[in-house]
A and B are shown apart, each in its own frame.
Chain A
Amino acid sequence: MNKSWRPRGLGLVAAALVAFVAVGVASAGAATSGATRAAQNPFAHYGKITLNVWSADNQDPGPKPVIVALANSFHARYPNVTVKLKFYGLTDYLKIIQLALNSGSAPDVAEGNQGYGTDSLLVKAKLIRPLTSYVKQYHWDKYFPPGAMAQFRWTPDGQTYGKGPVWGVAQFGQSTGIFYNRTALKKYGFDPDKMPTSFAGFDKLLAQLRPKVPKNEPLAVIGDKSGYESMHSYGLVQGAFLPAIAVRNWIFHAPGARYDTPANIKALTLYQQWFKKGYFGNDYNAVDENEAAAAFAKGKGIFYLGGNWQAQVIHAGLGSNVGFMNMPPGPSGKYVAVGATSLPLHISAKSKYPDVAARFIDWQIAGPQSARLMYAQNQVPAILGAPAPPKGNPYMASLGKGWQQLVKDNGLTLFPDWSADTMFQFLGAQLQELMAGRETADKMAKAVQGNWEAFDKRIHKK
């Protein structure tokens, strides 16, 4: 009878041992998975929180679905964080964002606008946080070369642009170019696969098209009701006459930078000629940017001269009948156009969860699937080292190529309205006068330079 006890006892001990080990392993496992879980959600200690995010990238289709999708995946990753997104039209957004960030209901993450119109005041009034520690933590300096990163830098007094800490980073590569309606080109006897390779060639193409197209139809569509869209189409002309560095120096208030240079005046004169010759029709002042892109998508005009953030809206209408290209280079042989990254994402100084906000920003610009989501909406990622677009989408390939060409040639002029606090409205209005033939190029350039100089005095006085 002893025989049967020993195995049982051993069995019990073994069982106890196994149980003990099992429990030990399990609790160790629980400890480690608890630890990894905590590492997996470093924000869990906040409990249930809401992250308020504001954006002006409201084109849908386009950037907006990308932002929404990434917000959803962010929430899936950090379930205790609910992301509340609010989208506005650009001009409305720029009106309200500064006061909103100063109020009691400031969003946690908000886009700003590079330049002296918006970001300067946000920095000066300490409404947003410097992102130095997060740049280090998330290696954002790897995503933006120094020249590009400069657009996010301000000295803490908000006076000097291009130097100092980084205050925001951006998500999309936004450049301007030519969208062309392939069917329309064929209709008038031109081969869309043989687009001009020089600026002079494109100028000539417009001249050849004008007599063939019915008088009341524009060749190129833009929507300049709010005044700013003309900066984009003008930039395409300006790029044939000026190097991008000239415009960037002017934006950053490098000493001696001028708007009324002979080269720029020549470019303005030619631009004015395009309107006199009727290339743009005459209702461009009655519609705004989004309306114009939508009209082009419905078949109006042959070209849309504007930003690649409209790419998906246009694609939704014209499908495979649309092509995209940069404005071909002028005599310099380099690609130049208005463009930069999209509006920078800032963290409000009042946010209770800046670390969550920073992770959200990182997620938007370089999170999992972010590039894929952008390509699906025909948007270009801003960051260096983003995966290439999937094959089989020539439209996306051309958009990506356009951006890459400009980056390679250092041809992104950035946006001229960044150069002064009132330049957004002032330059827009001046361009409208020029386009309507109510002001000479010479006078217009001098007026713009005058506005720049008045502002220049103010920032150098303080």
Chain B
Amino acid sequence: MSDASREAPRPRRVTGRAPGEPHRVAYLFLLPGLVAYVVFTLFPVVQTVRLSFYDWDGITSKAWHGLGNYRELFGSSEIRAAFGHSVELILFYAVFSLAIGLFLTALMTHFRVRGLMFFRTVLFMPQTIATVVVAQAFTWIYDPSGPLDAFLRSVGAGSFAKVWLGDFTWALPAVGLIGTWISFGLVLILLLAGAQRIPQELYEAARVDGAGFVREFVAVTLPGVRNELLVAATLTTITALRNFDIVYNTTSGGPAGRTEVPSWLMFHDAFEIHRVGLAAAIATVLTAVISLVALGISRFYTEARQ
């Protein structure tokens, strides 16, 4: 943890113009990246919104539909349920991950842990594995003849063994736990990054005051990682709201729609049952929700550093 002693460089505000400092040439540097971004990312978002006002099967011609798709969206119990599932998944992807991340951060800041690099590497690894691979691994783990049920039986909890991904009640939590597994490493890395910048003196002062493990965490660590916590909360919440890959490769929204999420519905409606306008409406609402969440959380974000 040699970096902890080094003070983080103070961010420089770009104020005032030094002699000879260019301004117009800035546009030249900006332009290529900006163009690529606008053409392939920003413009398609606008197109999606536009498509949401049409009735289209993707092959024959479009028909103007006004707000019809939105009316159907908000009136459809299936689609509303899908958004509800996404919110439930936030519990797993964000809340549980944050809890685990905070807990581990508390542990790792309490004293100098040996092998920190090793733990960080291992705990972050789930983030690097392709979601399709994760889906295959957990499909096996959740299989009735797989490790989870075998484990439950071996500790005498055989009655709890289930067909997890086919269970009406437990399929969604099972999918959620996959998200927890994927996310907690990211949360941990972010929080540790913030914790590293907390001056050791603050800990020492707290300990002198007699703070125990919990108090030192709440009084010193938590405020110090506030920004990182918000970034982690934002990223994990957004991932929870999206979550296409896992659903597609494990349950396909089943059983009977119990694990449907908006991104999966969007894909299904656009490319499987050919209702492109409705799919675009779902995509638009999803993006709006994600944007609101991201902006909402970032409101608590402070630029100021300690």
Partner of A225, one of B57, B144, B254: B254
Stretch in contact with the other chain, from B14-22, B159-167, B178-186, B229-237: B159-167
Nearest CB of chain B from residue A444's CB, rounded to whole Å: 11
Partner of A285, one of B58, B59, B254: B254
Q: Does B252 contact A (CB under 8 A)?
A: yes
Check A283 against B257 for contact (C-beta < 8 Å).
no
Grouping DSSP codes into helix (H, G, I), strand (E, B) and loop, the A interface class, with mixed when no group exceeds half, is: loop
Check B166 against A95 for contact (C-beta < 8 Å).
no
Across the interface, name the chain B residue whose C-beta is closest to A436.
B168
B: interface residue count bin:
20 to 34
Across the interface, name the chain A residue whose C-beta is closest to B273.
A422
A416 to B122, alpha carbons, bound, how many Å? 51
Q: Does B226 contact A (CB under 8 A)?
A: no
Across the interface, name the chain B residue whose C-beta is closest to A102.
B59
Check A121 against B59 for contact (C-beta < 8 Å).
yes
A283 to B57, alpha carbons, bound, how many Å? 36
Check A98 against B255 for contact (C-beta < 8 Å).
no
Q: Chain A CB within 10 Å — which of B165, B251, B254 has the most?
A: B254
Q: Does B306 contact A (CB under 8 A)?
A: no
Total contacting residues, chain A, CB less than 8 A: 29
1/0 per position for B114-144, CB-CB distance to A under 8 A?
A: 0000000000000000000000000000111
A121 to B251, alpha carbons, bound, how many Å? 27
Across the interface, name the chain A residue whose C-beta is closest to B251.
A225
Check B256 against A429 for contact (C-beta < 8 Å).
yes
Query: Known contacts being A95-B272, A283-B144, is A226 close to B57, with CB within 8 Å?
Result: no
Query: Known contacts being A432-B255, A436-B255, is A286 close to B144, with CB within 8 Å?
Result: yes
Partner of A283, one of B166, B252, B271, B272: B166
Partner of A286, one of B58, B165, B256, B272: B165
Across the interface, name the chain B residue whose C-beta is closest to A227.
B254
Nearest CB of chain A from residue B81's CB, rounded to whole Å: 12
Q: Does A132 contact B (CB under 8 A)?
A: no
Check B256 against A433 for contact (C-beta < 8 Å).
yes
A179 to B189, alpha carbons, bound, how many Å? 55
Nearest CB of chain A from residue B146's CB, rounded to whole Å: 10
A429 to B82, alpha carbons, bound, how many Å? 15
Q: Chain B contacts of A286 at CB under 8 A? A: 142-144, 163-166
Check A225 against B166 for contact (C-beta < 8 Å).
yes
Check B59 against A432 for contact (C-beta < 8 Å).
no
A99 to B255, alpha carbons, bound, how many Å? 26
Q: Does B65 contact A (CB under 8 A)?
A: no
Nearest CB of chain A from residue B135's CB, rounded to whole Å: 14
Q: Does A284 contact B (CB under 8 A)?
A: yes
Partner of B163, one of A99, A285, A430: A285
A285 to B167, alpha carbons, bound, how many Å? 7
Across the interface, name the chain A residue whose C-beta is closest to B270.
A99
A284 to B273, alpha carbons, bound, how many Å? 25
Across the interface, name the chain B residue whose C-beta is closest to A101.
B59
Q: Chain A contacts of B143 at CB under 8 A? A: 286
Q: Does B154 contact A (CB under 8 A)?
A: no
Q: Chain B contacts of A94 at CB under 8 A? A: 272
1/0 per position for A85-96, CB-CB distance to B under 8 A?
A: 000000100111
Check A436 against B254 for contact (C-beta < 8 Å).
no
1/0 per position for A68-103, CB-CB distance to B under 8 A?
A: 000000000000000000000001001110110010
Q: Does A125 contact B (CB under 8 A)?
A: yes
Across the interface, name the chain A residue whose C-beta is closest to B58.
A99
A429 to B164, alpha carbons, bound, how many Å? 17
* A-B pairs, 7 with minimum CB distance: A285-B166, A286-B166, A432-B256, A125-B59, A283-B163, A429-B256, A286-B163
